[in-house]
């Protein structure tokens, strides 16, 4: 948030104000997804671009590695990935309909 406040190319930003419906693969019901950030920036050509950013640990931003032994932890990882993937697909469609971009940012992107 400090980076967004201090970056001169950021025109505006908000936190968890957009609501995107998605169908959860875990319970096959509709839920509401509140992405972390909506950001409007000036690109390198001076044009405004809008994007939705989601901040997640790297471990949750990619599918879990298939295990030979199915543990409770592995099942939770698979369910978390499935829900995240459903949210992100819905966010991608939402953004494409508006000419926006969607990105998932991890600790690597933030230098943590």
Residue linked to tokens 């943590």: 112
Instruction: Supply 85's token pair.
Output: 């993937």
Q: Are strands 20-23 and 10-15 parallel, antiparallel or unpaired?
A: unpaired
Residue linked to tokens 């044009």: 47
| Within-domain flag for 52 | yes
- Boundaries of domain holding 27: 2-107
| Within-domain flag for 112 | no
pLDDT 10s digit of each residue in the chain, 112 long? 988 999 999 999 999 999 999 999 999 999 999 999 999 999 999 999 999 999 999 888 889 888 888 899 999 999 999 999 999 999 999 999 999 999 999 888 777 7
pLDDT of residue 13: 97
> What is the tally of structural domains in the chain?
1
Compute the distance between CA of residue 55 and CA of residue 38 in angstroms, rounded to an integer: 12
pLDDT of residue 58: 87
The pTM of the full predicted model, rounded to 2 decimals, is: 0.87
Compute the distance between CA of residue 97 and CA of residue 82 in angstroms, rounded to an integer: 23
């Amino acid at each position: 948030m400090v980076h967004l406040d201090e970056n001169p190319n950021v025109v505006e930003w908000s936190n968890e104000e957009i609501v995107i419906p998605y169908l959860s693969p875990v319970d096959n019901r509709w839920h509401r997804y509140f992405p972390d950030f909506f950001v409007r920036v000036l690109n390198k050509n001076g044009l405004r671009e809008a994007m939705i950013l989601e901040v997640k640990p790297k471990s949750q931003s990619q599918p879990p590695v298939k295990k030979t032994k199915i543990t409770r932890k592995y099942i939770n990882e698979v369910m978390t990935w499935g829900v995240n993937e459903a949210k992100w697909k819905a966010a991608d469609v939402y953004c494409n309909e508006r000419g926006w971009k969607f990105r998932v940012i991890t600790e690597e992107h933030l230098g943590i």
